[in-house]
Amino acid sequence: MATRVLILKGAPLAAETEAEARGPSPAYKLLQLPNPSTGQQQQYILTASGLLEANRVKHAATSWLVGDFFISDGSAFLASPINVVYVLLALLRSTSNEAAGMFQEAESLLCCEEWPAAQQLLGLAAQQLPCICDVKALEDGCYYRLNNDKVLAYLRVCVLQALAAFQAHSPASMAGLPPLQQQAYVLGYLREYLSQAWHDKLLASYGLDARAFGDAAEGSLPATRPAAQAATPADAEKKQKVVDPKEAARKKAEESRAAASAAKMAKHAAGSKKISAFFTAKK
């Protein structure tokens, strides 16, 4: 069996022996489930505390030294926490039309021929399904029915939480952006975890359509607001071309690193002598 490097949040895998340390831990289960945005197959890791999405990172001509072992494959799998509700929405999208709109047990909701690993999420689903479903509690158990209004209300809370997290932990990504563009930035970020259909519904809940969302991301007024005066040619020249929010954040980070590097070089150069100072003119 090939050895791979896995980087994940939290404590290292518990193992009593070296052999167990090199092998898979039963507390970590690999699952194949749909990507919330595309519906394509995605690797996940189920832990006792939640669900992690696993993504492979590969650089050319790299390898690993782990303890006394040399691993020729220099790729790494990064596992980061993901809100299981996004995956549940993708799984419920696979539900047959006949079952849609009916109260069902969690086992039935997650019974997908295409995704047999969905049954592994029953424990997490029992906690999260009430956030997006109507619940009918009977003597023999609970039954759930997807409620679009509850889904949108939940997603709007996710927008607020993500916005607060960006402002607290990544202020550079929000620097200089008015509130409307900050909201558009977060909505664009959540697009990676929502299908196009759910993302369009979320935009509509804010009174935006795809065009108005694009205008908000570019810094223009949305279609639901009164039109502003036409920009003069001078104003048009000053208007910058706006890229995707994530691309803008990446460029800001690169500019910050470049500025810091230049400042560091300038600091060292200020106290350095020119090379000509070490030589005297020949007499």
Same domain assignment for residues 209 and 117? no
Same domain assignment for residues 113 and 40? yes
Same domain assignment for residues 75 and 29? yes
- CA atoms of 258 and 260, how far apart (whole Å): 5
Token readout for 129 is 């399904």
In a domain? residue 257: no
Contact 216, 180 (CB under 8 A): yes
Supply the pLDDT for residue 66. Answer: 79
In a domain? residue 184: yes
**What are the pLDDT digits (tens) for 92-104?**
986 655 566 789 9
Question: What is the domain-level CATH number for residue 35?
Answer: 2.20.25.530
Token readout for 195 is 């299908």
Q: Which amino acid is at 88?
A: L
Phi and psi dihedrals of 105, rounded to 5? -70, 160
Supply the pLDDT for residue 84. Answer: 96
**What are the pLDDT digits (tens) for 112-171?**
889 999 999 999 999 999 999 999 999 888 999 999 999 999 999 999 999 999 999 988
Compute the chain's Rg from CA coordinates. Answer: 26
Q: Which long-range contacts (CB under 8 A, 24 or more apart) does 166-173 make?
A: 170/249, 172/249, 172/252, 172/253, 172/256, 173/245, 173/248, 173/249, 173/252
| Other residues' Cβ atoms within 10 Å of the Cβ of residue 88 | 27
In a domain? residue 269: no
Same domain assignment for residues 50 and 65? yes
| Other residues' Cβ atoms within 10 Å of the Cβ of residue 227 | 8
Same domain assignment for residues 73 and 135? yes
In a domain? residue 116: yes
Q: Which amino acid is at 14?
A: A
Overall domain count for the chain: 2
Residue 160 belongs to domain spanning: 149-225
**What are the pLDDT digits (tens) for 160-192?**
999 999 999 988 888 888 888 888 889 999 999
